[in-house]
Structure 1
Amino acid sequence: MSITPAAPSGRDHGPALLAVLDAVDRAPGAAALRARSYDLLGITTGTRLLDVGCGGGLAVAEAGGRGALAAGVDRDGAMVAAARRRHPDHAFAVAEATALPYGDGAWDAYRADKVLHELPDPEAALAEARRVLAPGGRAVLTGQDWDTCVLDAEDGALTRTIVHARADLVAGPRVARRFRGLLLDHGFGEVAVEVSTAVLTDARWLPLATGLAESAVRSGAVTREQAAAWSADQAARAAADRFFLAVPVFTASGTRSR
């Protein structure tokens, strides 16, 4: 699942962000969601796949295991360095999603997971996706809607304030609900949207909730005292096996028109 509410905003955070992304990759349902993206892309032997915002390169390696000629790009040089160390048999490059260093029609499949919410101009990224895809190529976009993070808490109004304050720190907190429109606007057909929901109840996920509160304090949306009381409620729930965090994740797919 694409669950990153406590991750640092932006993608240029080196080891700290890589650790968060590694944890996300191990979250319940994450492996199945990645596998679903490969199925939607039609990955098979010889498929030329570009993974945009590749992070540590896990998806590139998994797609390569299915026979794809897979490569990844990320704007964070530390991410690309880590991906190269972990997966030396695949190609990785530092690049922006809005300025990919490849020719027109160079790829059969385009994948962007946990990427578009970080971009001030997701439309430019979709234009690049269409440009680098061959006619008939497939694109898959995956991400959470940052305004739609569901937690069980004593104070519902304060919870909404905290969730929305964290969302407002993201460049495009609601871009996932626009995935279908973005694909249609950029000449993709056969557009479809799926949703899956990560439900986290284990106490080890408590830092995701408390991280939301810390972000809300930094943004000035809540006081330190309010955040402390809210976090204490979450900690008590976790200790009593009553922690509940659910995050809907949207996956949109489409085919580049000829």
Structure 2
Amino acid sequence: MSKLLTVLDAFDDLPQARDLRELTYDGLGATVVDVGCGSGRAVGELAARGARAIGVDLDPAMVEVAAERWPGSEFHVADATALPLDDGSVTGYRTDKVLHVLAEPEQAVAEARRVLAPGGRAVLVGQDWDTFVIDSDDPELTRSLVHARADAMPNPRVARRYRNLLLDHGFTDVTVAVHTIVWTDASCLPALAGIGGEGAWFDAQVARARDDRLFVAIPFFVASGTRAA
């Protein structure tokens, strides 16, 4: 969990990532559930905007961290497909970098529809694991490492399905946009270690970071829709 938290914190601290989060908060209304809340940053930021924000994560250790970082906020340990919420009890549903780890992400979207009130807004955010762009002196090896990391995920390409998932579960006014996050400093190295592991490839990326020559770009897909009556 500590390695994952390090990667998430490094990403969340990027100004581009902060701007992207702010974009996803628009239109979520007064009561919002953030599914896969991790360390709780979005919950804290939504609460600061005046919403009743509820964080849900399957990992008890993450929920413990979130509760420590954002005292007074509401967090629950629960599965994305079985939220501890009544039908139609929230005006906004948000999930960020979560659906790719689910074997059946369509069940999570069905659950989003259940807990949303009619007219409520769902926002799905995430990366397509095949589309990581990493500058390297060995592009063939880099491509194979990226694809191998993607293939280790239950649903590495689910982000390109976000629009269809929302449409298939009765959402209307569905939109999709792509926002690319660019990393050029050493804060990206924990994420690259998760892709390449120890060895010559990762050592070369460390050297690039030291020489200010690191380049990583990750397109994030943001899909949203309205829960129809």
Q: CA deviation at 1:43?
A: 4.0
- The residue type paired with residue 202 of structure 1 is D
| Correspondence list, 1:168-187, <5 A | 168-187=151-170
- Secondary structure, aligned partner of 1:29: helix
For residue 95 of structure 1, the aligned residue among 60, 78, 97 is 78
| 1:243 aligned onto 2:214 | yes
| 1:155 aligned onto 2:146 | no
Residues 4-41 of structure 1 deviation map (CA, whole Å, 9 limit, x = unaligned): xxxxxxxxx3x3322322222112411101100011xx
| 1:18 aligned onto 2:5 | yes
| 1:191 aligned onto 2:178 | no
Take 1:236 and 1:55, find their aligned partners in 2: how far apart are those partners? 31
TM-score of the superposed pair, with normalisation by structure 2: 0.95
Match of 1:220 in 2: none
| Correspondence list, 1:72-83, <5 A | 72-83=55-66
Take 2:128 and 2:103, find their aligned partners in 1: how far apart are those partners? 15
- The residue type paired with residue 234 of structure 1 is Q
Change (3 A) 1:232 1:79: closer
For the Cα contact (< 8 Å) 1:109–1:139, is it kept in 2?
yes
Change (3 A) 1:208 1:85: closer
Match of 2:116 in 1: 133
Change (3 A) 1:207 1:93: closer
Change (3 A) 1:87 1:206: closer
How many residues align? The count is: 229
Match of 2:227 in 1: 256
For the Cα contact (< 8 Å) 2:87–2:116, is it kept in 1?
yes
TM-score of the superposed pair, with normalisation by structure 1: 0.85
Change (3 A) 1:88 1:174: same
Unaligned runs of 5+ in 1: 1-12, 215-226
Percent of aligned pairs with the same amino acid: 58
For the Cα contact (< 8 Å) 2:6–2:190, is it kept in 1?
no
Which structure 1 residue ranges, 4+ long, deviate > 4 Å from structure 2? none
Match of 2:184 in 1: 201
Change (3 A) 1:233 1:83: closer
Unaligned runs of 5+ in 2: none
Take 1:98 and 1:58, find their aligned partners in 2: how far apart are those partners? 22
| 1:27 aligned onto 2:10 | no
Change (3 A) 1:110 1:149: same
For the Cα contact (< 8 Å) 1:28–1:198, is it kept in 2?
no
Take 2:41 and 2:126, find their aligned partners in 1: how far apart are those partners? 17
